[in-house]
Amino acid sequence: MAIAAPPPSVQAPRAMPAIAAALTDTNVRVNSDFRGDRIVLYGAVFDPLWRPSDVLVIVRGPEQPVRIARKSRVAGVWINSRPVVFHGAPGFYIAASNRPLDDIAHFAELRRLGAGVDHLAINAPAEQRIETRYGIRDMVVSRLGADYYDWRRAVVRLKEAEHLYDVDEHGVRFVDRGLFRAEIALPAEAPIGRYDVRIFLFQNGHPVSQRSRTLTVEKVGVERGLYLWAHQRPWSYGLAAMAFALAAGWAASSAFRRD
């Protein structure tokens, strides 16, 4: 006979708020008819005191360095500058919340969590050097100078144009008391790899509980086979692709032969 032990957490010292969340699908399969996907996340806020709560969901794709150049006019022709490489940029990024981020938390908190495209920790280390300025040692100075923020904003703007970065101020909806739902649109251009999904519960401007989930975007079937072949044995892939092309040309010519 099992003797029921006293439930350990019946009397929590103070009713701590908590958050729980799950993805309806943790595996996005990229096959030949992949045209992007919608990922649905469900979750619940547990708070016996029902304090006002905000939910923030951050989805980050695998990190991809970004090369960006600026066009400038030289002798009447618009040409690219030397490209600048930004590190730390996720290949995909969405911050979804139930109301605008600035209403949920302060600047410093958002910056610390990297919440919102303005707070993404991306920088261009190759363009930086450390020097002494105004008598202060070890200052990080960017070679891009005062334009630095223009470059940084351009990275975000261009990624947003490709639907790879987004901030959705109403992406999280409370569907019932404590129960919320978020939908994340994944474009066909979304990179392959492991995605990190973090769900935060904010109360009074501070994160009080957090959950972490992973999402895998992977190629399957023929797509995966071809991709692996092309990258692991590029020479045999190239030869086979060309042999196939030449054979197709020859076959078409024979089929249309008029004697």
Which spans of this chain sit near another protein (rule: CB under 8 A)?
30-36, 64-73, 76-83, 85, 151, 154-155, 157-159, 188-189, 191-192, 219, 222-224, 226-227, 230-231, 234-235, 237-239, 241-242, 244-246, 248-254, 256-257
- Shortest Cβ 172–another protein spacing (Å): 28
Distances (CA, A) of 14 to 11, 48, 200: 8, 10, 20
- Shortest Cβ 165–another protein spacing (Å): 12
DSSP code of 31?
-
Comparing CB distances to another protein, the nearer of 212 and 253 is: 253
- Shortest Cβ 248–another protein spacing (Å): 5
Contact call for residues 197 and 41 (beta carbons, < 8 A): yes
**Three-class secondary structure of residue 12 per DSSP:** coil
Q: How far is CA 199 from the centre of its chain?
A: 14
Comparing CB distances to another protein, the nearer of 11 and 253 is: 253
- Shortest Cβ 108–another protein spacing (Å): 29
HSE-CB at 234 with a 13 A cutoff on CA atoms is: 1
Task: List the one residue out of 70, 22, 93, 28 whose CA is nearest residue 224.
Answer: 28
Comparing CB distances to another protein, the nearer of 12 and 247 is: 247
Comparing CB distances to another protein, the nearer of 139 and 188 is: 188
Comparing CB distances to another protein, the nearer of 163 and 211 is: 163
- Shortest Cβ 77–another protein spacing (Å): 5
Task: List the one residue out of 86, 45, 3 whose CA is nearest residue 203.
Answer: 45
DSSP code of 125?
G
